[in-house]
Each structure stands twice: as C-alpha cells, then as structure tokens.
Amino acid sequence: MSSRPYLPSAVGIGVATGVYGGSFGVLAVGAGLSPAQACAMSILVFTGGSQFAAIGVIGAGGSAPAAVGSALLLGVRNAAYGLSMASVLRGSLFKRALASHLVIDESTAMARAQDDPDHARGAFFATGIAIFVLWNLGTFVGAMVGGELDPERYGLDAMFPAAFLALLAPQLRQRSAPALALIGALIAVAFVPWTPAGLPVVAAALALLIAVRSR
C-alpha cells in the first residue's frame, strides 16, 4: 500500500525494539526488580534510555532518588520531542494525552522523516504502537528468562555501557555534542569516589550549563 509508505520501517523498528526489550527484561531482573516491576516499568515509563538508566543505578547499589533522578534527566529529551511533535499531534485532549505516551526517540524520528503532514502523523502512530507492543512483549520474555542467568558470569553487566554507548552514538551528530559528552564523562568520573552510586550521573547534567553559556 503506497498510501502508507512508512509501514515497513515502522514494523522493522518495532521488531528490533522487541529484542532490545528482551535485554531490558533480563537486566532489570538481574538488577533486583521483580518480573512484575520490570513489565510495569516498560508499560508505564516506556522510554528505553531512562529505563536502562534507572535499573543501572539500582543494580550498582544506588538509591531510589538517584535512580529516578538520572532516569528523569535522561527523559528531558522526550520533552524536546513532545514540543516538536505538538503540531503533528492535534485532536481532542484525550487523544493528545494518549499520543503523548508514545513520544520517544524512534516515533519522533520517523515522523520527522516524512514530507507530508498526514504521513508524519501516520508514521508517528505506526512506529509508536509497533514499539509499544513489541517492547513490552520483549520485556516480559526477558524478565521471565532473566532470573535464571548469573549476571557477571554471562557478562550481563557489560551490556549496560554497551547499550548506553549505542544510544549515545547517534546523538553525537548534533553540534557541540562531542564536547558535552566528554565533559559529562569527566564530571561523572570525578564524582565517583566522593558521592553515592547514581549521583555522578546526575552531576554530569552540570555539563549543560556550559552549553547554555556557549550557545
């Protein structure tokens, strides 16, 4: 159907995200969440980077406020996406409230890639819904299997930095992003010996003050 040219990519992204959801489920249970909590997080929080950040901090022995803080700071980019999608997501308050939950990296990127406003809307929902279904299915399967695995023996702890690096790489194309990444990493390393787990990541947000001044 040429009337919905975005559908194959939306489904493809959904399938890839399902596998990603599987790794989230495994790591969430390994970090000490119950399978029910892992599934609830994927349904209710539904933004991969923040979810990985939260369980990463918890797994490293960080406090709940540090986990929620670093996850929410990572979620700030969704606010940017929501603001840029506001003109695409019109309709009743109820529809906009539902659509808001689907505002994530992939749905926004797919909508922005369309030339036609109707296609932008269609691509946003097709991608968002495909990801929502498969991300949650993947989390469920991963959380069920995850309890059986010894995290260190299978190198599951090494999956966290690899996952964050894979999320970071496409973001580095923005202007001044490489410098910000370097400053953020240096701040975090400097804070590790002095602050409890989780806080070094929150402290890295200080790097943004430099971006504010130098814009």
Partner 1 sequence: MSWTALLLLAAGGYALKAAGPLLLGDRELPPHAERLLALAAVPLLAALVVVQTFAVGQDLVLDARAPALAVAAVCVWRRAPFLVTVLAAAATAALLRWAA
Chain positions 136 to 155 lying near partner 1, rule: CB under 8 A, are 152-155
Q: Report the alpha-carbon distance of residue 26 to residue 160 in Å, rounded.
A: 11
Find the binder of partner 1 among 10, 29, 85, 126 (CB under 8 A).
85
Among 54, 120, 126, 137, binds partner 1 (CB under 8 A): 54
Question: Do 151 and 32 touch, CB atoms closer than 8 A?
Answer: no
Q: How many whole angstroms from its chain centre is CA 123?
A: 19
Q: State which of positions 11-40 bind partner 1 (CB under 8 A).
A: 16, 19-20, 23, 32-33, 37, 40
Burial (CB count <10 Å: 0-12, 13-18, 19+), residue 197: middle
Binding-site string for partner 1 from residue 190 to residue 209, where x marks contact by CB under 8 A and - marks none = --xxxxxx--xx-xxxxxx-
- Residues 153 and 52: beta-carbon distance below 8 Å: no
Question: Contact between 46 and partner 1 (CB under 8 A)?
Answer: yes
d(CA 87, CA 115): 14
Q: Cα 134 to the chain's mean position, in Å? A: 15
Q: How far apart (Å, rounded) are the C-alpha atoms in residues 14 and 17? A: 5
Q: Does 188 bind partner 1 (CB under 8 A)?
A: yes
Q: Which of 53, 111, 130, 131 binds partner 1 (CB under 8 A)?
A: 53
List the one residue from 84, 113, 117, 118 that touches partner 1 (CB under 8 A): 84
**Looking only at residues 96 through 115 of this chain, which bind partner 1 when binding is defined by CB under 8 A?**
96-97, 99-101, 103-104
Can you tell me which residue has the tokens 């970090």?
31
Binding flag, residue 127, partner 1 (CB under 8 A) = no
Among 81, 125, 135, 140, binds partner 1 (CB under 8 A): 81
Name the residue nearer to partner 1 (CB basis): 119 or 198. Answer: 198
